[in-house]
Amino acid sequence: MYRADAPGRVNLIGEHTDYNEGLVLPTATPQRTVVELSPREDRVVRVESEGYMPIAYQLGEERHCGDWGDYVRGVTWVLTKAGHAIRGFDAGIASRVPPGAGLSSSAALEVALLRALRDAFHLTLDDMALAYAAHKAERDVVGARVGTMDQLAAGLARVGEALLIDMRKSDIERIPIPGSLEIVVVDSGIAHDNAKQGAYNERRAQCDEAARRLGIVSLRDATLGDVERLAPQNATLARRVRHVVSENERVRAFVAALRAGDLARCGAIVDASHASLREDFDVSIEELDVLADALRSQHGVHGARLVGAGAVPVAHRSDRSCGDAGLARVPRILDAPCPVRRPLTRRASSPASHGRTTAPARCSRSVRIRAGDARWSPRSLPIPTTSCSMSRPARGSSPSSSPRATGAESSVSIAARTCLPRPRAGTA
């Protein structure tokens, strides 16, 4: 029996820049996907994941089926196509990385499976090579035109530090996360699936078209002068370019502020990123905007923004009441009290449930801790339900039916939070 795992990731800054050969800054989550694998003597592959139908197929007969098993089929297809000698296997998958939440559960699955196969069949692949193999699997078999950031983060990131990745050069620099910065992931309850919904691919195609019109290899080479030049031809493409150009600059500024310990500056930068994603890249929706505003209103929160096509992270200050200072740099994942009255589609909680959703349900004000501090309380996040008046969507409609949701099908909000002070003796 061979066992391997890989983490999810939270991208601190640098959204929709990876496939434009730009800069990104992901960090690992403590939640991981685990694969246990037993080699077989034939070419049969059998894989189970709780809550899903098992899959079975023969090596060499992989094809796109449109289900969660495409991630597994993609991995074995890449390895056999590259000439690696593998046999069939039986495997079981368990995951604590929330699926469809912008935390790269698919990359965690791919990298964990590749690590298990590397050990089982003695493959000569380092972690960088595994990351690129995982990316090829998701792009060519799953059908999602994602960049390589997710797989690089799943393969190389460590809790307590961020990876500054130059996607053009594949240069990686490890950036320590100060103990005074805390990251919390707040689940908004709106699921996404890049492979099944086309808005992500549409944004990528728009970036490619903008680069073609400007006569450059990618938007990494674009400038604000190019934005002005493109605007008369196509205002939408010009806004896409402006986001990519300004977001690369925000990554550099965020890293400089992080190194200087200037958390207020970090917060201002992520706020600016959210505004750019909303106004220039059109990948936010009203639920996420209201949630980000609610988080920013909390004491000690420096900033909040959506990430991973629909999530909200926040830079935050910790205090001595947090206890173990070593936990301050670990992203925490929580369910969010929904800041709107609109019923949202809740994601299935089973492992590897990529894209699977349950029946619509209203969010509540309660906060359920997935991983983190028992002192986190709903009272620390008063939700302004009266600030948003959205009508109930028609039967069969989805949260992405609003105009601004055309590029955001994800379902996570990420935020930093302050620890509640311990109650004094004799108080409730």
Any idea which residues carry the catalytic annotation?
A: 150
Tokens describing residue 141: 């078999």
Residue type, 184: V
Interacting residues of 283 by C-beta distance below 8 A, sequence separation 6+: 15, 16, 199, 203, 277, 306, 309, 310, 404, 406, 407, 408
Distance CA 18, CA 359 (A): 33
Q: How far is CA 166 from CA 47, 149, 427, in A?
A: 35, 10, 52
